[in-house]
Structures are given as structure tokens and as C-alpha cells.
Amino acid sequence: MVRHSANAILLIATNPVDVLTYAGWKLSGSPESGHRSGTILDTARFRYLLGRHFGIDPQSVHAYIIGEHGDSEVPVWSLANIAGIRLREFCQHEDLPTMRRRCKQFRARRGPQL
């Protein structure tokens, strides 16, 4: 690919994105490995689910899924926040016993499924 177009952009939009992006880079002959993230969609889903759970616009939810796309990805609960308020603190602003229980139930239900 580089031989025909040095400025070409190779876009990989499939699963497994990490493996196929690596293969595409190797086959293209490009000296740069490019950028890839197999967790962007799962991060968006995670933010949506948190927003829906708390009744908040997902644009105000900041949370991330990290790792390689698939079984090894994990939600980063310790950094999750709503409008800059850590999730643990946000849960405490509500009816404390109810919100703690709901947070734990949500985490138990949603964490492994993402």
C-alpha cells in the first residue's frame, strides 16, 4: 500500500480489531503502526448504561473500558465519574442505602458483560 500511496489511511472496522489492525499494518508496509482501540464502542455502551441507570445524559458520564477488545477488557470503575463527581461520591448524594445497593447490583450485573 505504501508503495502506491505513501499518505494512504488504512481503516480497520471489524473484530478482532487489535489483531486485524496489526496484520493490516504489517501487510501495508507502513513504518507507523497507527492508532487502534477495540474498546471505543464498549466504552460508549458503558457510559450509556451508567447514564440510563442514574437518569443522567451519557455525555455527562465519564467512564472507560480498557484492555484488548473481548474477554480481557475491563471497566475502570475507580475512574468513573458523572460531571466530575466520582461514582462512589455520586452514589452517596442520593438515598445512601438504596443507591449503594443499586450501585453494587449494577456493577455486579453489568461489569462482566461489557
pLDDT tens digits along 2-31: 677 777 777 777 777 777 878 888 888 777
69 is catalytic: yes
The alpha carbon torsion through 12, 16, 18, 20 (nearest 10 deg) reads: -50
Candidates 35, 62, 69, 93; catalytic one: 69
pTM above 0.95, yes or no: no
Q: Rounded CA gap, 68 and 87, in Å?
A: 24
Signed CA dihedral, 94, 55, 37, 70: sign only: positive
Grid cell 468513573 is found at 80
Counting as low any pLDDT under 50, the low residues of the chain are 112-114
